[in-house]
Amino acid sequence: MIDFQSILGAIAAEAKSKKDKGVVATYIPELARVDKNKFGISLLDNKGNLYNAGDAAEQFSIQSIAKVLSLSMAFRILGDNLWNRVGVEPSGDPFNHLSLLEMEKGVPRNPLINAGAIVVADVLISQFKNPKSEFLHYVRSIANDPSINYDQKVALSEKKTGFRNYAAANLIKSYNNLHNDIEEVLDFYFHMCSLTLSCRQLVNVFYMFVNRGKCLQNHTYLDINQVKRINAIMLTSGFYDEAGEFAFEVGLPGKSGVGGGIVALLPNDFCVATWSPGLNKKGNSKLGMQALEKLTTRTGLSIF
Ligand code: GLN
């Protein structure tokens, strides 16, 4: 039996003592203010055992990690028709890249870059009268945790500084791949990014991607093929232009956010979340990536 608790404890202690912790995102004050010395890690195994170390219970802005959850919600509803609106190829570009090459006729390369997540937000708006509350309800019920919420201040700041997201939405709209009002689509997108969770809560929500589409309470949200596809997209596109490096170093499908969170998983085995607010040059958590490399190397557990 692998002693996850002592492995996580050692990884957290090593992270806390590191001098170079990367650079905290500064594009909105709510993220710029976060203490760079925070480090949390949680792991939930396939028997439901939860292991934590460091600041695992502290909540943070999950930002782009939410794109996986909105993707799963849209995929559940639209099935494979979703792929008419968004592609599944890695972009090799930063998350907010606007190059026309990234979109063929207004179809963003994948659902985990901003342009793709904006299309997914549009898809969900077309389905629901009140998409913000439906999405929140979806995440809360997967986690069986009604305390999960948006951070309204973060959502508002995102809106004030989201010039590139407005540009992306306008570009997509010009190709007729956004069917709703741009303000409404981006308001929903910014709220999704503002979801606030701890590492403990994140592993709980992402457990369904470990457990063949079933959450901890054994409710089915996705079928096994849908889980396969979403995990594949996380592996190839979860870390923007660093997806290759993450596969090489860590060897797990996963997703990062500019709030410094990373969630990753080994199908049928475990889900792990890390939080360290300092980012590397590619916008992924610097110590989070190092911690996950240590975890898969020390346990010998990865998809490879
Ligand atoms: N809210 C951020 C944005 O849209 C999310 C970016 C991220 O986490 N990579 O720019």
Domain that holds residue 146: 64-193
Q: 63 CB under 6 A from ligand 1?
A: yes
119 labelled binding-site residue: no
- Which of 193, 220, 243 is a domain's end point? 193
What does each C-alpha distance from 275 to 201, 205, 232, 243, 255 come to in angstroms?
Answer: 12, 15, 23, 18, 12
Q: Would the CB of 193 count as within 6 Å of ligand 1? A: yes
Residues 92 and 30 in one domain: no
Domain identity same for 97 and 183: yes
Q: Is 256 among the domain residues?
A: yes
Ligand 1 atom having least distance to the Cα of 96:
10
Has residue 17 been placed in a domain?
yes
Instruction: Please check whether residues 97 and 151 belong to one and the same domain.
Output: yes
Name the active-site residue from 21, 38, 67, 173: 67
Predicted local confidence at residue 100, as pLDDT: 56
Predicted pLDDT at 34: 97
What pLDDT score was predicted for residue 241? 87
The reported pLDDT for the residue numbered 84 is 95
240 annotated to bind ligand = yes
Q: Check residue 92 and give its pLDDT.
A: 75
Q: Which one of 193, 220, 242 terminates a domain?
A: 193
Residues 146 and 43 in one domain: no
The Cα 173–Cα 121 span in angstroms is 13
Q: 304 lies in a domain?
A: no
Query: Is residue 22 included in any domain, yes or no?
Result: yes
- Say which CATH number the domain at 158 has: 3.40.710.10
16 is catalytic: no
Active site residue 64: yes
Q: What is the pTM of this model?
A: 0.97
Say how many Å lie between the CA of residue 3 and the centre of ligand 1: 35
Q: For residue 38, give Cα distances in angstroms to 54, 95, 208.
A: 8, 24, 27
Give pLDDT, residue 105. 82
DSSP tag of 41: E
* Residue whose structure tokens are 């004030």: 160
- Is the same domain home to 70 and 182? yes
- Number of domains the chain is built from: 2
61 CA to middle of ligand 1, Å?
10
DSSP E strands in the chain: the ranges are 23-24, 40-45, 50-54, 60-61, 103-104, 107-108, 149-150, 195-197, 254-256, 261-266, 270-275, 278-279
Q: Are residues 50 and 69 in the same domain?
A: no
The question of ipTM being above 0.95 is answered as no
- Look at residue 128 in the predicted model and tell me its pLDDT: 97
158 marked as binding residue: yes
Is 172 in the same domain as 216?
no
pLDDT at 197: 98
- The answer to whether 184 is a known ligand-binding residue is no
**Same domain, residue pair 81 and 180:** yes
Structure tokens at 213: 């589409």
Residue 222: its pLDDT value, please?
A: 97
d(CA 183, CA 118): 11
* HSE of 249, CA atoms in CB hemisphere, 13 A: 18
pLDDT at residue 91, rounded to an integer? 82
Which of 258, 272, 276, 294 is catalytic? The answer is 258
Q: Is 240 among the residues known to form the active site?
A: yes
For the chain (304 residues), the mean pLDDT of every run of 10, in chain order, is 96 96 95 97 97 98 98 97 95 69 79 95 98 98 97 97 94 95 98 98 98 97 98 96 95 98 98 98 96 98 98
Same domain, 167 and 220: no
